[in-house]
Amino acid sequence: MVRFHARLGAHMMGVLNDNGRCCKSGVFAKACRRLGIRHRRK
């Protein structure tokens, strides 16, 4: 997703989600940190 948006000239700053199970995982948090993306929950 990050590469797709970068090709269009858009820089991802964050992710807003519904706090689902997949977005609570340590793997997801680590990926966000590695990519410099801020994870926000609603």
Instruction: Report domain extents, the chain.
Output: 14-42
pLDDT digits (tens, 9 = 90+) for 2-40: 788 889 998 877 777 777 777 778 888 888 888 888 887
Q: What is the DSSP letter of 38?
A: E
Long-range CB pairs of 11-20, under 8 A, 24+ apart, other chains included = 12/37, 13/37, 13/38, 14/38, 14/39, 14/40, 15/39, 15/40, 16/40, 16/41, 16/42, 17/41, 17/42, 18/42
pLDDT of residue 36: 85
Please report the pLDDT score of residue 25 as a whole number. 82
pLDDT of residue 6: 85
pLDDT of residue 4: 87
